[in-house]
């Protein structure tokens, strides 16, 4: 099973600032990495797939990078609606599909 | 509209059984890989089970032998039969559609299952 580790667990950021979230895989997942955003009481929403491709309707301030075992989600200028929990997920080698533990982006 | 709507959650005693359903609209369940993903209160996401378009099924070790995923092609629905429920199965259960590349591109809103005496 591939273990996904996200850091930090919580990120405190002021609106308008840049946020950088990390995700590490216990073995290579190539570029088979997705990022999801989840707000309280809502289902997860796909942001990024293929490590760097934005899903339909996702603003350009969200960008993904990385390959192999190290990945990054960057939010270039945080808007109020971006405060949420973000999960990475590998789909290179499954089952089982595995998610990271999440990073909560909160208002500083 | 393309959407997934789960139902069937509720309060159940340990050792009991529950059947979740997920009604799909705007696409055909049997043409896609479909999964159940759960989220315990205040915790992260945990993949539970998948059914391939060809019918093969797979389960997380935590539910293997207790849960059964299935689909009804005539009703365009996905189901999860949950037996021998435990307190640690308490969670919101989401059904989700896999894209052709296997990440999740569509999620339902979830249904809450609470296992407690």
Q: Read off the tokens for B101.
A: 């590349």
Residue A59 CB contacts under 8 Å (≥ 6 apart), including other chains: none
Give the distance from residue B51's alpha carbon to the nearest chain A alpha carbon, in angstroms.
Answer: 11
Interchain CB distance below 8 Å, A43 and B94: yes
3-class SS shares of chain B: helix, strand, coil, % to 5: 5, 50, 45
Residue A84 pLDDT level (bands cut at 50, 70, 90):
very high
pLDDT greater than 90 at residue A77: yes
Q: Mind listing the pLDDT tens digit for each residue in B12-59?
A: 999 999 999 999 999 999 999 999 999 999 999 999 999 999 999 999
pLDDT at position B91: 98
Interchain CB distance below 8 Å, A95 and B47: yes
Least confident segment among A34-43, B26-35, B63-72, B96-105: B96-105
**In whole angstroms, what is the distance from residue A3 CA to residue B21 CA?**
29
Q: What is the mean pLDDT of chain A?
A: 96
Q: Which residues of A touch B103 (CB under 8 A)?
A: 32, 34, 46, 49, 89, 91
Strands B111-115, B104-107: pairing kind: unpaired
> Do A68 and A57 touch, CB atoms closer than 8 A?
no
Residue B113 in 3-state DSSP?
strand
Residue B88: φ, ψ to 5°: -75, -5
Q: Mind listing the pLDDT tens digit for each residue in A30-64?
A: 999 999 999 999 999 999 999 999 999 999 999 99
Range list of H helices, A1-108: none
Q: Which residue of A has its CA nearest to B104?
A: A46
Helices (H) and strands (E) in chain A, counts: 0, 11
């Amino acid at each position: 099973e591939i273990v996904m580790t996200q850091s930090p667990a919580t990120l405190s950021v002021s609106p308008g600032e840049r946020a950088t979230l990390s995700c590490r895989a216990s073995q290579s997942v190539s570029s088979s990495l997705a990022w999801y955003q989840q707000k309280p009481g809502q289902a997860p929403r796909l942001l990024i797939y293929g490590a760097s491709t934005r899903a339909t309707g996702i603003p350009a301030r969200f960008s993904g990078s990385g390959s192999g075992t190290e990945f990054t989600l960057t939010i270039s200028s945080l808007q109020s609606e971006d405060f949420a929990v973000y999960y990475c997920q590998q789909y290179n080698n499954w089952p089982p599909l595995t998610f990271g533990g999440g990073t909560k982006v909160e208002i500083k | 509209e393309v959407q997934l709507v789960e139902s069937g959650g509720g309060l159940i005693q340990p050792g009991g059984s529950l059947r979740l359903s997920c009604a799909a609209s705007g696409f055909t369940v049997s043409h896609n890989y479909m999964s159940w993903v759960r989220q315990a209160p205040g915790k992260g996401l945990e993949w539970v089970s998948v059914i391939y378009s060809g019918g093969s099924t797979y389960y997380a070790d935590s539910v293997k032998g207790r849960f059964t995923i299935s689909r009804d092609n005539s009703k365009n629905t996905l189901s999860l039969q949950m037996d021998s429920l435990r307190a640690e199965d308490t969670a919101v259960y989401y059904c989700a559609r896999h894209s052709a590349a296997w990440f999740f591109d569509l999620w339902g809103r979830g249904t809450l299952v609470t296992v407690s005496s």
